[in-house]
């Protein structure tokens, strides 16, 4: 498990993740609005607002600009005849080998945001664990799903 | 043998008790009203009517439940209005569990629980109350080989019975015992501070200190009583613990008041774990348990663990496994330990916590700051302890991992049983040639991950190589180029 898996996921994943992050920004924005209102009406100290604004800026830089890019660069996968090999994780890099023998079922799923970018996620489940390959093109995802489920169709499966 | 059977009529009583328990919450407001306003006759009669309905319900439920054991499968029909018929093939049965609670024993009955691979409660089946002979017959029939032949009975299978003295030792060195001894130690180490020296100086205070001493000995006594009760409880619960190895199954039975029997097909076992808590490690003792695939109540003998033996000598483990579970016997794996440079990773997490604690406590309750300061000494020590325990070992078929949270656990996994093999690292780990291993197996309900942090990357990569069939991905790019 020293070589990186060969395939990258779609680059549009970055945009999709960015959009998701922007949507999630609603929560800190609401909080910020609340603290500004508190500043105006019950006269909170000004530095609370300063901290809140800078936190929001940091959040935007990380969740919208940095993380999606880094995440995309790290996500990789490769499907072998007997194994699926996946890598992900920004700070902690995880590499996982899933034997085909152990694959119970493969799903593709697509939320509204992925749909907008015509992307889909492949989920590989064993009896004990679940693994994801996010953000492939729709055709790629369904192709991969079919291919894995075909490879996983092995007689000897005792558990 | 092929005709339908009902459960023993006593199961009406069991069902009634169970539905009473379920309905208890519904009864509560009624009882509350009665207690507050005094009962009038219609309230009592309403309650009575409810009880009668529940009882009739129990009878009908019993009447509508029937089962058949055939050559190939177990068939169960049940349901009052919605009839359900379930067939469970013999080959799909994970384990058969025979239990006798006190209530069962009064009637001479037992409960048969059948577990299948899924973790769906609705798929599993249980016969709540059948006669003793019937239970034995059902379980014999459902075992993989069906009924044992004469020849089988004559053949001597390995069997081990735990003596009462060994069970007493089990109770005396259990995890609870450690907590109790910890409390005792704390009590004695603090005793001098509770009774300052000046107290002895004048007579009234001397009396007071006597009272304190009396209190302390009272606490001591009650702690010892709890410990003793723990020992007795263990002895009663696991009385006559017997393990037998048949061709393809392990068979355990135990219990004095509540009797249990359990059959586990060997090919359902996913991992064998040797666990030593602190006291037992000092005494060279341990226990052996297994992770079994499937079953809602999985291996619930205690928590989620299926004991093979509640207590044995560490040195006897290879011999024991060799006899009872040779599939998982790997003598002296020779653990590879993590290097010195991974020690900080074992320490820093706990150090962070304790340093934060020191800061917080010194800001809030400065008088108590010694407690977290002591923790900053103890926790890193613990980290060193954990680092020394961690280890990995592997060959063609086996993967052994050793680690410690509090108790030391030595895991034996079969390569073919792994559900997924993971390797984790960070930028720092990569620079230092370290990696964390994460091996997932299937146990009763979900998976279980065995994680050992900050091992040599070399060892983890080689372990992945024996695990994986794909050549190439285990080699460094530079190694490939170099040939």
Claim to verify: residue A67 and residue A96 sit in the same structural domain: no
Q: Please state, in angstroms and rounded to a whole number, the distance separating the CA atoms of residues B107 and B14.
A: 11
- Which of A22-26, B118-122, B128-132 has the lowest average pLDDT? B118-122
Task: Give the residue numbers spanning the domain of A27.
Answer: 12-71
* Rounded distance between C-alpha atoms, residue B390 and residue B385, angstroms: 9
Quick one: pLDDT at residue B303? 43
- Mark whether A59 and A83 lie in a shared domain: no
A131: domain CATH number is 2.30.29
Mean pLDDT confidence for A33-44: 84
**DSSP readout, B161-188?**
E--HHHHHHHHHTSHHHHHHHHHHHHHH
- Looking at the domain assignment, is residue A6 inside a domain? no
Of B144-153, B159-168, B170-179, give the lowest mean pLDDT range.
B144-153
What contacts 24+ positions apart, CB below 8 Å, involve B34-43?
none
What span, in angstroms and rounded, lies between the C-alpha atoms of B452 and B463?
13
Q: Rounded distance, CA B380 to CA B376, Å?
A: 7
Output the pLDDT for position B181. 76
pLDDT of B206 > 80? The answer is no
Give the ipTM of the model, two decimals please. 0.83
In three-state secondary structure terms, B364 is helix
Q: Which of A71, A99, A116 is the last residue of a domain?
A: A71
A42 close contact with B: CB closer than 8 A: no
In chain A, residues with a C-beta closer than 8 Å to the C-beta of B475 are: 2-3
What are the tokens at B353? Answer: 């916590």
Asked if the structure places residue A3 within a domain, the reply is no
Of the three residues A71, A88, A104, the one that is the final residue of a domain is A71
CB contact under 8 A, B468 and A129: no
CB contact under 8 A, A1 and B472: no
Across B185-205, average pLDDT: 63
Same domain (yes/no): A86, A143: yes
CA dist A141 and A147 (Å) reads 10
Percent of chain A surpassing pLDDT 90: 57
Task: Tell me the C-alpha distance between A109 and A138, whole Å.
Answer: 10
Does residue A158 fall inside a structural domain? no
B469/A83 CB distance under 8 A: yes
| pLDDT-based confidence at residue A41 (cuts at 50, 70, 90) | confident
Say whether pLDDT at B95 is over 90: no
What does the pLDDT read at residue B283? Answer: 92
Same domain for A66 and A91, yes or no, is no
Q: How far is Cα of residue B192 from the mean position of the Cα atoms in its chain?
A: 39
Q: Indicate if the pLDDT at residue B146 is higher than 50.
A: no
Same domain, A94 and A147: yes
Laid out side by side, the sheet with B285-292 consists of B306-313, B285-292, B269-276, B408-414, B398-404, B391-394
* Bridge pairing between strands A93-99 and B125-131: unpaired
Coil, strand or helix at B23: helix
Q: What is the pLDDT of residue B456?
A: 93
Same domain, A83 and A64: no
| pLDDT tens sequence across B210-242 | 787 888 888 888 888 888 888 998 898 889 999
A1 touches chain B (CB under 8 A): yes
**Rounded distance between C-alpha atoms, residue A84 and residue A123, angstroms:** 12
DSSP B263-313: EEEGGGEEEEEEEE-HHHHHHTEEEEEEEES--SSTTTTBTTBEEEEEEEE
**The tokens 């091996």 sit on which residue?**
B439
Number of domains in chain A: 2
Residues A51 and A83 in one domain: no
B431 pLDDT band, cuts 50/70/90, is very high
Q: Are residues A65 and A91 in the same domain?
A: no
A27 is a domain residue: yes
Contacts of B470 in chain A (CB under 8 A): 80, 82-83, 85
B438 near A CB under 8 A? yes
Q: Would you say B210 and B276 are in contact if contact means Cβ atoms under 8 Å apart?
A: no
B390: Cβ–Cβ under 8 A, 6 or more apart, which residues?
Answer: B337, B338, B346, B402, B403, B404, B452, B453, B454, B455
Chain B nearest-CA distance from A87, in A, is 9
Q: What is the pLDDT of residue A58?
A: 93
Query: Are A144 and A88 in the same domain?
Result: yes
CA distance A40 to chain B (A): 32
pLDDT of residue A34 exceeding 50, the answer is: yes
Domain final residue, candidates A71, A101, A119: A71
Measured CA to CA, the distance from residue B81 to residue B74 in angstroms comes to 22
Low-confidence winner among A73-77, B180-184, B314-318, B327-331 (lowest mean pLDDT): B180-184
CB contact under 8 A, B420 and A89: no
Question: Can you tell me the mean pLDDT for B273-299?
Answer: 80
Would you say residue B29 has pLDDT above 80?
no
Which helix (DSSP H) or strand (DSSP E) does residue B429 occupy? helix B427-432
pLDDT range class, residue A79, cuts 50, 70, 90: very high
Same-domain check for residues A66 and A97: no
Q: Is A77 on the interface with B (CB under 8 A)?
A: no
Distance CA B423, CA B464 (A): 8
**Does one domain contain both A38 and A93?**
no
CA distance B118 to chain A (A): 9
- The whole-angstrom separation of Cα B213 and Cα B194 is 10
- Give the pLDDT mean for A7-31: 92
pLDDT at residue B391 tops 90 = yes
Which whole number is the average pLDDT over A35-63? 86
Q: Tell me whether A87 touches chain B (CB under 8 Å).
A: no
Computed from CA positions of residues A123, A125, A130, A133, in that sequence, does the dihedral angle turn out positive or negative? negative
Question: In whole angstroms, what is the distance from residue B416 CA to residue A158 CA?
Answer: 11
pLDDT at B302: 40
Chain A contact for B144, CB < 8 A? Answer: no
Structural domain includes residue A4: no
Whether residues A83 and A147 fall in one domain: yes
Say which of A91, A128, A158 has its CB closest to residue B447: A128
* Residues of chain A contacting B448 with CB distance shorter than 8 Å: 128
Q: Does B441 touch chain A (CB under 8 A)?
A: yes
């Amino acid at each position: 498990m020293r070589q990186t898996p060969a395939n990258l996921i779609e680059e549009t994943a970055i945009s999709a993740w960015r959009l998701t992050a922007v949507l999630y920004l609603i929560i800190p924005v609401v909080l910020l609005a609340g603290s500004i209102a508190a500043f105006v009406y019950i006269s909170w100290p000004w530095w609370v607002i300063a901290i809140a604004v800078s936190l929001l800026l940091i959040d935007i830089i990380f969740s919208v600009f940095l993380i999606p890019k880094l995440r995309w660069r790290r996500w990789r996968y490769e499907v072998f005849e007997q194994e699926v090999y996946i890598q992900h994780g920004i700070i902690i890099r995880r590499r996982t080998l899933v034997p085909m023998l152990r694959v119970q079922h493969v799903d593709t799923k697509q939320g509204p945001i992925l749909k907008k970018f015509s992307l889909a996620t492949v989920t590989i489940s064993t009896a004990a664990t679940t693994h994801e390959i996010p953000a492939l093109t729709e055709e790629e995802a369904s192709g991969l799903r079919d291919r894995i489920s075909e490879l996983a169709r092995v007689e000897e499966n005792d558990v | 043998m092929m005709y339908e059977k009902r459960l023993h009529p006593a199961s009406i009583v069991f069902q009634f008790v169970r539905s009473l328990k379920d309905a208890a919450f519904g009864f509560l407001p009624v009882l509350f009203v009665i207690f507050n306003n005094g009962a009038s006759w219609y309230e009592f009669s309403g309650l009575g009517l409810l009880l009668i309905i529940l009882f009739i319900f129990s009878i009908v439920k019993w009447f509508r439940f029937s089962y058949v054991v055939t050559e190939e499968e177990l068939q169960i029909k049940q349901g009052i209005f919605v009839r359900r018929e379930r067939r469970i093939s013999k080959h799909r049965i994970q384990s058969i569990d025979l239990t006798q609670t006190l209530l069962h024993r009064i009637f001479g009955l037992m409960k048969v629980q059948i577990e299948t691979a899924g973790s769906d409660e609705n798929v599993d089946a249980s016969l709540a109350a059948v006669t003793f002979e019937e239970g034995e017959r059902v379980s014999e029939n459902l075992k993989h080989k069906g009924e044992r032949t004469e020849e089988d009975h004559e053949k001597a299978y390995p069997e081990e019975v735990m003596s009462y003295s060994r069970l007493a030792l089990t109770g005396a060195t259990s995890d609870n015992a450690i907590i109790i001894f910890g409390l005792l130690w704390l009590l004695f180490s603090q005793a001098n501070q509770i009774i300052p020296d000046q107290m002895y100086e004048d007579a009234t205070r001397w009396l007071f200190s006597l009272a304190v001493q009396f209190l302390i000995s009272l606490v001591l006594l009650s702690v010892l009583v709890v410990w003793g009760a723990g020992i007795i409880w263990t002895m009663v619960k696991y009385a006559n613990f017997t393990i037998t190895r048949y061709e393809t199954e392990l068979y355990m039975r135990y219990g004095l008041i509540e009797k249990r029997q359990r059959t586990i097909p060997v090919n359902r076992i996913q991992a064998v774990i040797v666990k030593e808590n602190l006291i037992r490690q000092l005494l060279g003792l341990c226990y052996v348990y297994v992770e079994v695939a499937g079953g809602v109540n999985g291996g619930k003998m205690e928590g989620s663990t299926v004991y093979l033996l509640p207590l044995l000598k560490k040195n006897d483990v290879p011999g024991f496994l060799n006899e009872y579970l040779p599939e998982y016997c790997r003598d002296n794996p020779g653990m590879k330990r993590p290097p010195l440079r991974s020690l900080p990773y074992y320490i820093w997490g706990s150090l962070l916590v304790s340093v934060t604690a020191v800061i917080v406590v010194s800001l809030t309750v400065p008088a108590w700051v010694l407690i977290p300061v002591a923790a900053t000494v103890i926790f890193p020590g613990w980290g060193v302890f954990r680092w020394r325990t961690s280890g990995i070992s592997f060959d063609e078929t086996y993967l052994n991992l050793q680690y410690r949270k509090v108790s030391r656990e030595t895991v034996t996994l079969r390569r073919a049983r792994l559900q997924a093999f993971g390797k984790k690292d960070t930028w720092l780990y990569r620079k230092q040639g370290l990696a964390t291993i994460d091996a997932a197996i299937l146990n009763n309900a979900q998976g279980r991950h065995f994680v050992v942090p900050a091992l040599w990357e070399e060892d983890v990569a080689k372990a992945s190589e024996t695990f994986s069939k794909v050549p190439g991905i285990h080699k460094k790019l530079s190694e490939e180029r170099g040939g």
